[in-house]
Every structure is written in structure tokens, then in C-alpha cells.
Chains A and B, each alone.
Chain A
Amino acid sequence: MTRLDRIALLLWMGVRNVFAHKVKSLLVGGILFFGTVLIVVGGSLLGSVQASMERSVTSSLSGHAQVYAKDAKDALSLFPSGPMGSMDVGEIPDFHAVRETLVAMPGVLDVVPMGILDAIVLQGTELDRLLDRLRDAVAGGRSDEVSLLTWELQNIASGLERDLLAVRTASADPSKEDAEIADLRRVQDPAFWADLAADPESGLTFLESRVAPLGSDGKALYLRLIGTDLSRFEANFDRFRIVDGSRVPAGSPGLLVTKRFYETQVKNAVARGFDTIREARRAGRTLAEDPLLQEEVRRNVRQRRRVLYQIRPDEAEAVRAELLEVLPGASGDLDAILETFLQVDDANFEVRHEVFYRAIAPRIRLYDLAIGDTITLRSFTRSGYARAANVTLYGTFEFQGLERADLTSVNHLVDLTTFRSLYGSMSAGQQAELADIRASVGVDDVARDEAEAALFGGDPNDLVVAPEAEAAPTDTPPTWVRDVPPASDDGPVLNAAVVLDPGSSERLSVSDLQAELDARDLGVQVVDWKRAAGLIGQLVTVLQVVLWVGVAIVFIVAMAIVNNTMMMSVMERVQEVGTLRAIGTQRRAVVGIFLVETAILGLVAGVAGAGVGLALVAGLHAVGIPAVADILVLVFAGPSLHPTLSLAGLVEGILLVLVVALVSAFQPTLLAARTSPAVAMSPKE
């Protein structure tokens, strides 16, 4: 009973003292209040970002964990974090066993084999494509088409000549330009075409060797490829969705590129210009006011030949007529009309956009790579040998919610077989052959690079063909043919996504998986999504560190202020403490009185701060934090973040503030407890 009364008195004194020492309470309480708001809101944002990023990454690429070789030279990074082609993660020694081991564990849904490599697609210019068609037409004796192409090539030559003349005036030594201009004039001369009809080969050779290089540079597209078992990938990553085209039929070599990449890198430059302006105008920007958009318009005008040269002469008149409908009073050839047409402003943009997509877009190659095209992917093996593989571009894909995320748009998907041929892996046949080479040269161990040299010869442009005799010092030049595609488990696999069953009661951790794999000595390491994601995964850790360092700084400052304030408060109250001691209060009890007082203040400030923090988070949750930068789309796992807060987060925030308050009050409190009772005797003032 007395005990309860004592506690009641202690609390009573604490509450009264909090009110009695207003300045101290407001100062300390205010700091603790803001500290709690900071922790609660910051913790909520961080927790939500972590959860959303985890959702982004695990649902798009990584799975819950990634497995790769233990002896990898580099750390696995599913998203690019270094220069192209720089990552070497080795190979999983025995993927089949890894998969069997993991799938046998309860809670593991599937293990998806993967391999990452960088590839290039070299694109010919429009000129190259016309010359290819010309060669075909000449060979096929299709004179109608030849004359059409003649007209187009003359047009292009005259356009190029005009460009070159401009370059020539600015050039210090115009001799090179003069020679090129002469070549272009020759193409515009009907005599050249008469000669070509007589002697097609020399004319075509001239065009291909002298004129083709003058066309604007063919561009190289860089593709970061994830080779994977596409059907298993689709089955396990439910955010994956085909946008255009179709999925890759099982067993065929096929490529899927991200929708965003397709729209931003592959689309015709002028069409993309229209898209960009339209998007910006939808976002409220205007051509009249936005200098960036004005530059976009100027660029479109400059690039009009990317459209012009693709319009067939027999359709030029139709296009011209349609454009003239919206350009009353314009005159001149199609080039001049296009120039006027592309000079858009806010008043006419919507109409021109519509006309462009109705009259022009269907008559040009809207995308440099069309869905259904066969594309030659080129890669370099680690030792510098070029590999190439032909694949069909089946379509585009995206991850739901991450459509605008640049980082998830850089990884494209190919089938495993194509990946393996680009990666330069050795099929069973190749390996047998390597054994032969070894036997014949009497070497026990041929390094992979040397083996490649032996197998594929030194010509970096060499496709997967039978090696030349010089390739290896062997009497019987090995011959081999490409094997049938291996089952996805059997060829080399560089890394694999482990997909866990979200409904399973087993909460498998990375170390659980690692332990199971180590038990079978499979030579692989398991990393969580955060590490597998590379730089972007570290972003979470960085954010975490930044938040906690920020909180730590705020708290250290807060602790210093609280400590100081408490110290002053204690000094102010020495007489009171001395009296308490004189009339028989033990030191412990004095400590108790002060700590209870601080705890009450901390609790009130903490609860108030948590309440305000909760309100802020609730507000942010309702409104959503927009992903203003594209990278944030990935971080937020969607176009906006709706932060949430757990009860545990609230309680943690309050407890943390309470601890901070008590810790910073502890030293002043001890000092108070050491007050000599004699001070009670000395009269006040």
C-alpha cells in the first residue's frame, strides 16, 4: 500500500515538476518531440522504400535471393553498376545440382537460371538498306524498282552533298570533302546509272564502298542481356508482361527488349520528338515557354531527313498532299514542306501530331528494329573474341509499376541458348573437341581463353564456324557443328534467381539457403536481393545510413541540449535536493525522482511526436509521394510512394526517444543525487 502511495507521489511530483519548470520542459520536451517526429516519419519512409524496392527488385529480376559462383571475380550486380562488359561472376559449377538442392527445400518455389552479358546490335543506315534493296533488284532484273531506288539514292546524294558543302566551308583542308562531293555528284549524274545498268557490279561496288560510308553513322545499340529460361522467368516474375509482339516460343532463339528502351532508343528520332513534346505538354509545359521543348522542335526540323529518305517516291506526293492540308500556303518540295510542318507551336501541335501519325508514320520504319526482325547480336568473350548470334525480336516487355524506371529498362531478355552462344560457352561437342586438342598438344590444362583461341580462331569477327587449320597446332583440324540447344539446366548458368513461396510458413533466409548448398559443397554463394541488385540495392543501405546518421546527429545535438538543460535545472534545484537529502531521502530516491520526471516528459513528448508523425505519414500515404525522378520509380516500386507505419515503428520511436531522454538526463541526475544535504542549511538567496 505504502509502496503504491510512494509511486503515486513520485509520479505526482514528476508531473508537477514538469509543469513547474516550464522553460526546461518546453525546451527538452520540444527537442524530444521533434526527435520522435523525425524518427517516426524517417523510419516509415525508409521502411516503405525498403519494402517497395524489395518488391521492385525481387519481382522483376532478382527473386528473393541470387546464387552464383563462390569464386566469382566480381560481385554479382543485376543492374549495371560498372562499365559495359566489366562484370565477371564466373559460372555456377553445377547448376543442375544447385537447382535440385534448393527446390527440394520446403518454401522454395523455383530456381531460375540466368546469365548476364552485354551485346551490341550494329544497325545499318537507311542508305545501307537502300543499297541492299538495289543489289537485290538489279540481280532480280526488276527495273521498276531499280528506277525507284535510283530516284531515292539521287535524292539522298543531293541531300548529303548539301550537308557536305556546309561542312566544307568550315573545313581548313577541304580536299577530303571535295573528293566526297565529287562522288556524290557522280551518283546524281544519270550517266552513272546508265553505266550501272551496263556493268552492275562495278557500279554497286562504287556505291557500297564510296557512297555508303557517307551516310550518317549507323548506330550501335548496346543491349544488356539477361539470358534466361524465358518460360520459367515469366512464370516466376509476375510483374513481367509482354507489351508489343508476343512471347518467345519455347526452344527458339528470341529477344525481348523493354518497352521503355524500345520507345526511347529504337524509335525513329522524329517520331520520338513528337512523343516527347506531347508528353511534356500533357505535363503542363508549353512550347512557348519551355526552351528545352523549343530545342526539341529545332532538332526535329534538323532530323527531318530521317523521315524524308524513308518515304518512297511513289508515296511522296500523297504525303505532300496530306501535309499541305494543314499547311495552307506552303510550297516547295517535300523537304521544304516537311521543314515547315515540323516547326510546331502550341496552337498547331495536336493537329500536326495527329497528321504525323496518320500520314507519315505508316510510311516509314517507325522503329529501327521492328518486331519480327532478325537481329544479329554481337558480344565479346572475356578474352576478346567476337561472338555473334541471330535472334528474332519477338516483342517488348515491361514490369508492371516499373514502366518508367530507367534501371529496370536496361536489362533485356534472351533465351538461354542464344545467351550461351554469345557467352562463348562450350557445348558438349566443343568440349570433346577441346579434349582432343589437349590430347594432341599434350597439355593437361588449357585455360579457357586459350581454348577459345584454339577453337574459334583468332578472327574476332568470326562467327561460330568451323575453326581454320591455323587455329590449333593439330594435325586433324577439328570440325564440329552446332549442337542441339541443351536443356536449360545443362549448359553454363552464371547466376540464378531463387524464388520463395510467399505463402509458405518456412521463412527461409539467405543463410538457410547457403547452409543447404554448402552442405553439398556446390561452390556457390547466396546473396539477398539488396546485394544482388548492385548499386541500386546499396542505395537502400545508403539511405538507411544517411537516415540513421542524420538521426544520430540530431540526437547527439538533442542529447547535448537536454543534458545541458537538465544540468542547469539540477543546479537550480540544489536547495530542493539538499532538503530532500537532509530529511532522509536516499540518493537512489533522488535519482528516481529526476528520472521519473524526465520519463514523464519524454513519454509525453514521444507520444505527441509519434502522433504528429503518424498524422504526417497518414497524410503522405493518402496523397502519395510522386516519383519525380525516374530512378525513384524503381525505389518506390511504382509512380508514387505511399508510406506506411507499423505499430512497432511507433512504439520503437517512442521508446528510442525515452531512452535518449533518460540517457541524457542520467549524468545530471547522478550529480543531483550527490548534492550534499548541507546545502539545505544555507539560506536561500
Chain B
Amino acid sequence: MHPIVELENVVKEYPLGRVTVRALRQVNLALDRGEFTVVAGPSGSGKTTLLNLVGGIDVPTSGEVRIDGRATSRLSDRALTALRLEKLGFIFQSFNLINVLDVVQNIEFPLLLQGELSRRERRVRVDALVERVGLQEQVRQRPGELSGGQRQRVAIARALVTRPAIVLADEPTANLDSATGTAIIELMREINHTDHTTFIFSTHDPKVMERADRVVPILDGRLEADTHSRSRAAPVEAR
């Protein structure tokens, strides 16, 4: 079984006026199913850039990113978008919910985009997730009426609703106080345990790093040798 995401000699450059910013330099990484991985590094080290590539939101300048075996730079925007919808779930630093939709509608949204499940099936799945993230009382509220932690729970539910192969979270706790942040990480950890959902998220919070199976340190666009704090880690691919 091949890794769910593979990065091979990935370089990402951003043209910035006359200069070129080299955000990632020769990155190799493989993520296996069921892993709970943290990308850790200081500000500007390239965490977001890395997650963008892993999540098929952006494509590498050179090298290859394969999501579920498909090289993202060879896909059309349409196919890449469809790939994101099928295989990936996203949790954002600023939650990024759709403000005009209530909790249930926000969670259900990706399922409607997919258009595969019946109304009943969607209902069952959304209800289960609402319960899972503990928002039974808030189902008809809109994001504006929720606290930051509640919003991020909605975001987690939305990311999980399509049962994606991998969930990405870019600094999911950065906008939360530390207690709430810890609770959110605990929730993700729990879901990873029970459902074996693959997670990758970035942080520079040491407390968050502690909770990870695997920590991939990043500095100046280069990955350092990563550490596996938990026993059930996958083989290391970084060289």
C-alpha cells in the first residue's frame, strides 16, 4: 500500500517582484494512513506552503506531489478541485466557515458538492458528526453566534464529513486560547484513534507537538529528520 501523500524533490518558489522566494527546497516526505503528523517550525519556515502542496491547493514548482498516487501538477484545476473534494479535509487557522449557513448546513456543504448521498444518508452522517464534536445545542446557529472553539469544531466536522483520506490543519489552534486549543487537538487525536483518520497539521506550539505521533521539523524550507514519538509510526522517508 503506497503512502497517502508523497512529496518527491519538491521545490516551491514564489516570484516576488524581481526576487524569487524559495519557500521549499528539495523536500521529500511521505504520509501514511492513520498517522497524526505535526509540521513544526518557526514563522516563515514554509509550513503553510508545505500543507498547500500536500492538500492539492497549490502545485510544486518542481518535483512531484502525489495525492493517493496522482501527481497534482499533472491535473487540471477541475480534476484537482475534485480530488480535494474527494480525498481531503481542511481545517483553517481562522475557521473559514460560510457565514450565511448554519452549523448543519456548513457541515453538510461538502456532501452537497459531492452530490452522492441521499438526503437521509447526509442527515445521519451530519448528525453523528454534530454529536461527535459536541454541538447538538448549536445546530441551527450561524458562525457569528459561535465561540472560536465551537467554530473550529464545526470546521472539524465539515472536514470529516466526506470521510477524507487525510485531514489538513494549518495552525488550527493559533486563534484559540490554550485550553480550547488543547481541547481541539484532543478531539482530533481522538478521532484519529477511533476512526484512523490521517491528520497532518502545522504548529509552532510545543504543547501541540507533544500530542503528535510524528513531528516533522521544518526550517527555511527544508525538512529536518523527523521524530516518531509513538510506536505505531510509519517508516521515515525523509532523507
Contact = CB atoms under 8 A, between A and B. Distances in A.
A532 to B, nearest CB: 60
Interface in A552-587: 575-576, 579-587
A583 B110 contact: yes
Interface string B71-92: 0000001100110111011101
A3 interface: yes
B174 A680 contact: no
B55 interface: yes
A572 to B, nearest CB: 12
Contact of A584 (B52, B58, B85): B85
Contacts of B112: 2, 5-6, 9
A681 B48 contact: yes
A13 B100 contact: yes
A681 B99 contact: no
A555 B109 CA distance: 37
Contact of B96 (A5, A16, A680): A680
A629 interface: no
B57 A678 contact: yes
A677 B72 CA distance: 14
Contact of B98 (A576, A581, A586, A683): A576
A683 B94 contact: yes
B174 A683 contact: yes
B96 A575 contact: yes
B174 A582 contact: no
A589 to B, nearest CB: 7
A589 B118 contact: no
B94 A1 contact: no
B158 interface: yes
A331 B221 CA distance: 122
A589 B98 contact: no
Contacts of B52: 678, 681
Contacts of B171: 683
Contact of A680 (B77, B78, B92, B110): B92
Contacts of A682: 48
A455 to B, nearest CB: 88
Interface string A1-36: 111011001001100110010000000000000000
A583 B115 contact: no
A583 B89 CA distance: 7
B51 interface: yes
A207 B114 CA distance: 112
Contact of B81 (A5, A16, A584): A584
A17 B82 CA distance: 25
B170 to A, nearest CB: 5
Interface residues of B, number: 41
A6 B114 CA distance: 10
A683 B81 contact: no
Contact of B94 (A2, A9, A17, A684): A684
Interface in B90-113: 90, 92-94, 96, 98-101, 105, 109-110, 112-113
Given A5-B112, A583-B84, A13 B57 contact: no
Interface in B189-233: none
A275 B116 CA distance: 87
Interface in A494-510: none
A17 B100 CA distance: 7
A680 B90 contact: yes
Contacts of A2: 112, 115-119
B175 interface: yes
Given A678-B57, A681-B52, A583 B158 contact: yes
Contact of B55 (A6, A582, A589, A676): A582
A583 B57 contact: no
B119 to A, nearest CB: 6
Contacts of A685: 94
Contacts of A583: 84-85, 89-90, 109-110, 113, 158-159
A568 to B, nearest CB: 17
Given A683-B174, A684-B94, A584 B100 contact: no
A582 B84 contact: yes
Contacts of B98: 13, 576, 579-580
Contacts of B175: 683
Contacts of B109: 9, 583
Contacts of A575: 94, 96
Given A6-B112, A583-B110, 11 more contacts: A2-B118, A5-B112, A17-B100, A20-B99, A583-B84, A583-B85, A583-B113, A584-B88, A587-B77, A677-B57, A681-B52
6 contacts: A5-B119, A6-B112, A583-B90, A584-B85, A584-B88, A683-B92
Interface of B: 48, 51-52, 55, 57-58, 77-78, 81-82, 84-86, 88-90, 92-94, 96, 98-101, 105, 109-110, 112-119, 158-159, 170-171, 174-175
In the A-B complex, the 7 residue pairs with the smallest Cβ-Cβ separation, listed nearest first, are A584-B85, A16-B100, A579-B96, A684-B94, A2-B115, A677-B57, A683-B93
